Amino acid sequence: MRRLWPRHVRSRMTLWYVLVLGVLLLAYAGGASLYLFYSLREQLDHNLLEDVERVEGLLENTPDGMVALGSVHHEEDEPNMQRFVEVWSPNGILLYRSPILQGRTLGGPPRPGAEGTTQRSPITVRLADGTRARMATSIYTVESRRVFLRVAHSEEGLWQEIEEFVSVLLPALPLALVLAGFSGFALARKALAPIDAMAHKAERISAERLNERLPIENPEDELGHLARAFNATLARLEAAFDQLRRFTADASHELRTPLTAIRSVGEVALQAPKSMTEYRDVIGSMLEETDRLTRLVDSLLTLSRADAGHIHLQRTDISLLGLVQEATSLVEVLAEEKRQRISVEGAPTLIVSVDRLILRQALVNLIDNAIKYSPAGAEILVRVTAGKHSQLIVEVVDQGPGVPQEHQSRIFDRFYRVDSARSREWGGAGLGLAIARWAVEVHGGQISLESVEGQGSTFRVALPSTITTEKRRA
Ligand code: ADP
């Protein structure tokens, strides 16, 4: 069955169209024939009832006790009409039968009470040879003698007309279907041609040619809508591919820098024999570069896992201040090296439901940046407060160089650095803030920066508070 079913939409559409049209035409032909049948029969009944009265007037008694039918002009008026007449006496003696009946009966002796009384509506009878006829009955008095009268008109003429009607209609049906099939197929092909064109065009669009778009002939119609949707998908794909390409290029570049450093330090060291202390220095700087590499690879892994959506948050209710203190303690030693002071402020009662390690990473990155970019001896403040709309806020305020206005919108982008040379000097690849943004947003929060160049920066993390009032009170 499946194999018989057409493969192409246009063929399927045509087939459906022809099937539905066929059913409709058949129903129409059936309805029209029925209508014709009933209206012809109504006409036949009308004539029959008129004829009953005419026949009644023509009845006369004959000397032999029978009944005869006076001169009949009716047959001459309507030569095609076959009229059958039977006259019975109430006690079941046949008084007259039309010769044309040739011995066939219209129903045998009358059944008093059942026929011929007041009800004159005609019925269909079948004669012995199968001829169908419409018959009406009446009880009539011929010169003070009650007789039972049956008059019938043959239905053959009616059936002939129906047959003629159907024989004209039926052959036209397949013809109409064939014509409809051809025109339907042509229409479907024309209507679907743009889809074919789109498919061919789409086949030619590859990863390298994602900037190509499908032509939109009429943006208002369904095909225009399809093309627009397809183009929008292409645009998203193109953006995603671009981002991926940029990310790969940047990542390779960042990975190459420490690798080159390790290699050149090694090569220089091998050029001439060195003292033990010099070798230690070389190995030390190689390890430093390896550390940088490890950090970079870790960051890349975090981001690619984040992109793939593989990270499932393991939320626990913790004190936000406690988490800030934990993050601070991890980078405190760096601040001490630069004689900087980190103060942490806030109420320990503010509870958040977060993935501790992920959010801590965001805070570490922000505090680490504040340490890296602030001058020696500077003050760094980390403040935890309850903000508007039941948000909890962490602010990392530093006295560093600030971020120029023109860089602020892009500072959270991957690999983005305000001053690459200086930033790399401190070990940054421009991924710290990207990771911080992801970590905050994955918790449903927002991260923002307020900074005036030369006057320090404030990085603000706003987290939705998920604690209940009871917990708040507690
Ligand atoms: P990096 O690893 O280079 O620090 P980040 O993503 O953490 O990367 O930061 C991106 C850039 O934003 C940095 O290169 C730096 O120029 C700027 N930046 C980040 N934090 C601060 C800050 N507290 N003060 C001034 N500039 C900052």
User: How many A from CA of 277 to the centre of ligand 1?
Assistant: 35
Measured distance CA(1)–CA(279) in Å, rounded? 81
Taking residues 252-260, report their average pLDDT.
89
User: How many A from CA of 417 to the centre of ligand 1?
Assistant: 6
**Which has more pLDDT, 71 or 368?**
368
Measured distance CA(227)–CA(442) in Å, rounded? 34
Please report, in angstroms and rounded to a whole number, the separation of the first and last CA atoms in the chain: 71
Question: Which residue from 303, 340, 373 has its CB within 8 A of the most atoms of ligand 1, so it is best to mutate?
Answer: 373
Name the pLDDT band for 208 (thresholds 50, 70, 90): confident
Name the pLDDT band for 468 (thresholds 50, 70, 90): very low
Mean confidence (pLDDT) of the chain: 87
What six digits make up the tokens of 28? 């129409």
Residue 48, CB-side half-sphere exposure with 13 Å CA sphere? 28
Take atom 8 of ligand 1 and give the residue whose Cα is closest. Answer: 430
Residue 9, CB-side half-sphere exposure with 13 Å CA sphere? 9
pLDDT at site 358: 94
**Which has more pLDDT, 170 or 27?**
27
Pairing of strands 132-142, 123-126: antiparallel
Which ligand 1 atom sits nearest the alpha carbon of residue 401?
A: 25
pLDDT at site 68: 86
pLDDT at site 107: 82
pLDDT greater than 80 at residue 420: no
Q: Which of 55, 357, 330, 33 lies closest to 168 in space, CA to CA?
A: 33
pLDDT greater than 80 at residue 268: yes
Pocket of ligand 1 (CB under 6 A): 365, 369-370, 373, 398, 400-401, 403, 411, 416-419, 423, 428-434, 457
Q: Are 277 and 322 in contact (CB under 8 A)?
A: no
pLDDT at site 74: 52
Say which amino acid occupies 46.
Answer: H
Take atom 16 of ligand 1 and give the residue whose Cα is closest. Answer: 418
**Which has more pLDDT, 130 or 421?**
130
Q: Are 45 and 122 in contact (CB under 8 A)?
A: yes
Measured distance CA(310)–CA(437) in Å, rounded? 17
- The fraction of the chain above a pLDDT of 90, given in percent, is 51
Taking residues 448-469, report their average pLDDT.
86
pLDDT greater than 90 at residue 474: no
User: How many A from CA of 48 to the centre of ligand 1?
Assistant: 108
Give the per-residue SS3 of 206-228: CHHHCCCCCCCCCCCCHHHHHHH
pLDDT at site 169: 87
Taking residues 164-181, report their average pLDDT.
91
Take atom 21 of ligand 1 and give the residue whose Cα is closest. Answer: 369
CB atoms within 10 A of CB 402: 21
Name the pLDDT band for 399 (thresholds 50, 70, 90): very high
Which ligand 1 atom sits nearest the alpha carbon of residue 420?
A: 14
Question: Which residue from 247, 291, 417 has its CB within 8 A of the most atoms of ligand 1, so it is best to mutate?
Answer: 417
pLDDT at site 394: 97
Taking residues 304-328, report their average pLDDT.
91
**Which has more pLDDT, 461 or 1?**
461
pLDDT at site 200: 87
Average the pLDDT over each of 70-74, 137-141, 387-391 and give the range with the smallest value: 70-74
pLDDT greater than 60 at residue 78: no
Beta strands (DSSP E) in 56-203 are 59-61, 67-69, 83-88, 94-97, 123-126, 132-142, 145-154
Average the pLDDT over each of 70-79, 249-258, 286-295, 387-396 and give the range with the smallest value: 70-79
What six digits make up the tokens of 276? 């033990």
Name the pLDDT band for 385 (thresholds 50, 70, 90): very high
Question: Which residue from 411, 447, 451, 455 has its CB within 8 A of the most atoms of ligand 1, so it is best to mutate?
Answer: 411
Q: Which of 395, 377, 400, 403 lies closest to 460 in space, CA to CA?
A: 395
Take atom 13 of ligand 1 and give the residue whose Cα is closest. Answer: 417
Tens digits of residue pLDDT in 90-112: 888 889 988 888 888 888 888 76
pLDDT greater than 80 at residue 391: yes
CA distances to 22, 35, 170 from 162, in Å? 21, 10, 12
Beta strands (DSSP E) in 170-305 are none
Taking residues 232-261, report their average pLDDT.
89
Greatest Cα pair distance, the chain, in angstroms, is 164
pLDDT greater than 80 at residue 118: no
Say which amino acid occupies 118.
Answer: T
Whole-model pTM?
Answer: 0.62
Which ligand 1 atom sits nearest the alpha carbon of residue 433?
A: 6
Taking residues 161-177, report their average pLDDT.
90
pLDDT at site 282: 93
CB atoms within 10 A of CB 320: 26
CA distances to 323, 364, 421 from 360, in Å? 7, 6, 27
pLDDT greater than 90 at residue 139: no
The alpha carbon of residue 467 and the mean position of all alpha carbons in its chain are separated, in whole angstroms, by: 39
pLDDT at site 470: 41
pLDDT greater than 60 at residue 218: yes
Which ligand 1 atom sits nearest the alpha carbon of residue 430?
A: 8
Name the pLDDT band for 201 (thresholds 50, 70, 90): confident
